[in-house]
Amino acid sequence: MSEHDETSGTRPGPESGPGTGVWFIGARGSVATTAVAGCAALAAGLHPPTGMVTETEAFTGARLPALSGLVFGGHDTVDWPLPKRAEALTEQGVLPHGLGQAVHHELAAADREIRTGGPLAGDRRSDEELIAAFAADIEDFTRRRALARTVVVNVASTEPAPAAGDPRLPASSLYAAAALRAGCAYVNFTPSTGVRHPALEEPARSAGVPYAGRDGKTGQTLLRAVLAPMFRQRALTVRAWSGTNLLGGGDGAALADSAAAAAKNAGKNRVLQDTLGVLPEGEVHIDDVPALGEWKTAWDHVAFEGFLGAGMILQTIWQGCDSALAAPLVLDLARLAARAHEAGITGSLPELGFYFKDPDGGSAALAEQYDVLLGFAARLGAAR
């Protein structure tokens, strides 16, 4: 294809009809930038869809929106154009050399659809005024681009859990409320509160949209979701499970805040608690190492007991790039949530627990979550 569609964020695809909007909270961050660039690359056939579960054979009948039909926009509080952000990610080794230039048009088109988020320092607007402004931005995007629907996906930096009795909503919940008001499906890929704030219980029930979360399962917790069932099924007693994360980039800086780190670790611990029935001794320590940039290393140390009390140890090392791990999952979730919305499915989506550390119910074991996801794909394929 030599021509670009001047009205969309990706090259034209084979499908007809209106596209599907993906509205990122944190739209100029590493995950969103990687997702936009990656989607454009896949739609153009420049790279294979490695890491995208929805591009496997099991999902061919789910009637998901085509990657070529996704149109991107979002909110952010920083002014760093996506093409420049892509250049930085290329220097960090996240994006392959030449990709930013190859999909420059798509990155620029998405960047034009990014609006200033908040609340910024000194912003005197009330929660209601902020929600109304954010919802208006999303509605305007959906209307101007003549989209069938829009999915709001939170990929912003982790925020601390709100203090008890705080009369103000945290930023993640302001955006979640805006998504509900705009009639959009909502996905929380972060550990932040989002739609799970008590003040949003009634709006979430009455909005008539699907929502899913929280905290994407990309690395260390992915391994825990596989290994913990092994210990349970083999009747091996886990005595202690400790871990360390070394990471840089925006996540490293955000998680240097102990309150934000506590929100992150709650999801990691939930996998062990739900799978083993008890939370073993040990903690996960998160260290900000700016020199690592977009890359991270995660160590786990598992002390377990075998037959006749024999003490044994399992150690794992996970080294990877969170943005490259998260981006395909984010695209999966946007497509699944959009199709669920089209199919008239409302409320929380525990069927998408496969993707989350802290899902909306269901098993914590990855294999069981995958079976549930396949069943959900079949349900989507059968729905009108």
How do residues 87-131 score in pLDDT, each as one tens digit? 999 999 999 999 999 999 999 999 999 999 999 999 999 999 999
Tell me if residue 287 falls in helix, strand or coil: strand
pTM: 0.91
pLDDT tens-digit map of 356-382: 999 999 988 999 999 999 999 999 999
Q: 1 falls in which pLDDT band (50, 70, 90)? A: very low
Calculate the alpha carbon distances from 369 to 56, 102, 229, 356 in Å.
16, 36, 12, 10
Distances (CA, A) of 71 to 18, 22, 65, 265, 374: 10, 6, 11, 33, 26
Written as one letter, the residue type at 262 is A
Chain mean position to CA 168: 24
Instruction: Give residue 6's pLDDT band: very low, low, confident or very high (50, 70, 90).
Output: very low
Average pLDDT estimate for 153-179: 94
Query: Residue 269 — pLDDT band, cuts 50, 70, 90?
Result: confident
Per DSSP, which regions of 182-273 are E strands?
185-188, 210-213, 237-247
Task: Give dist(CA 180, CA 211) in Å, integer.
Answer: 9
Other beta carbons within 10 Å of 97: 9
pLDDT > 80? residue 3: no
For the chain, the average pLDDT equals 91
What is the percent of the chain where pLDDT is above 90?
81
Fill in the DSSP letter of residue 209. -
Residue 10 has pLDDT above 70, yes or no: no
CA distances from 53 to 41, 202, 354 (A): 17, 33, 10
Spell out the residues 6+ positions from residue 45 whose beta carbon is closer than 8 angstroms to its own: none
Instruction: Identify the helix (H) or strand (E) that includes residue 296.
Output: strand 295-305
Q: Quick one: average pLDDT of 162-182?
A: 95
d(CA 260, CA 173): 15
Mean pLDDT of all residues in 151-157: 97
pLDDT over 50 (residue 299): yes
The CA distance from 214 to 200, in Å, is 15
Contact status, residue 142 vs residue 182, Cβ threshold 8 Å = yes
Q: What are phi and psi of 355, to 5 degrees?
A: -95, -5
Question: At 300, is the secondary structure helix, strand, or coil?
Answer: strand
Structure token pair of residue 346: 């409302």
Band (pLDDT 50/70/90 cuts) for residue 260 is low
Say how many Å lie between the first and final Cα of the chain, rounded. 32
State the helix-helix crossing angle for 82-91 and 104-112, rounded to 10 degrees. Answer: 130
Q: Which of 345, 323, 5, 16 has the alpha carbon at shortest distance from 151?
A: 345
Report d(CA 379, CA 62) in Å as an integer.
Answer: 8
Does residue 75 register a pLDDT over 70?
Answer: yes
Cβ-based neighbours of 109, under 8 Å, separated by 6 or more: 8, 9, 72
Output b/e per residue, 296-305; b: 16+ Cβ within 10 A.
Answer: bbbbbebbbe
Nearest in space to 360 (alpha carbons), one of 270, 278, 276, 279: 270
- Of 46-60, 162-176, 237-251, minimum mean pLDDT range: 237-251
